Amino acid sequence: MQIDYDKMIAFHGHSCPGLAMGYRMTTAAMNHLSSYRAEDEELVAITENNACGVDALQFISGCTFGKGNLIFKDYGKQVFTFYARKTGQGVRVVLNQTAIPAAIRADRPAFIEWLLAADEAEIISLQPVTIKEPEKARVMASVVCENCGEAVMESRICSQDGKNICIPCSEKSAKSGQIA
């Protein structure tokens, strides 16, 4: 798999260690699964963080929130799990933080260079996993919030005092004790 690293940097907005981490993790997983960039939902990614590396994941794998094949779990870990629908194979990719020399972290360009050149087996742990196949993305109807008037995906509407309201309006009313 050939990746134009400069285009990935342009997609993200800047070069940083997090992007390099995401690049190494995603390319390792894609190679392990013998997968190619997802045109649709044939590949699913689960990210356990919302840091810079997720942009590398999206750029390389084609897994995005918009297509419904990128799932976010807010665990704060430098971990990605990939699942190939065609083969049923999954792999969990963990960045080995302890392998990173402490002295290199302060020098961003050197840190990035080190991340890109380090031996994969030293910094990446690939663990085959079996996961329940993630549900394919569904198109949902929109419902208008009876409080703010904005359209809301029907699966995210709340019923409160007989009214269909969105989550932000529900949260506001819970704080104030009434629907605005």
Amino acid identity at 162: G
Per-residue confidence (pLDDT) for residue 133, from 0 to 100: 77
Domain locations in the chain? Answer: 5-129, 142-176
List all residues 6 or more positions away from 103 whose beta carbon is below 8 Å from its beta carbon.
none
pLDDT of 42-98, one tens digit each? 899 999 999 999 999 999 999 999 899 999 999 999 999 999 999 999 999 999 999
Domain 5-129 has CATH 3.30.1330.130: yes
pLDDT tens digit sequence for 113-125: 999 999 999 999 9
Pairing relationship of beta strands 43-47 and 79-84 according to DSSP bridges: antiparallel
Domain 142-176 has CATH 3.30.60: yes
Per-residue 3-state assignment (H helix, E strand, C coil) for 80-95:
EEEEECCCCEEEEEEE
Task: Enter the tokens of residue 61.
Answer: 């794998």
The predicted model scores a pTM of: 0.80
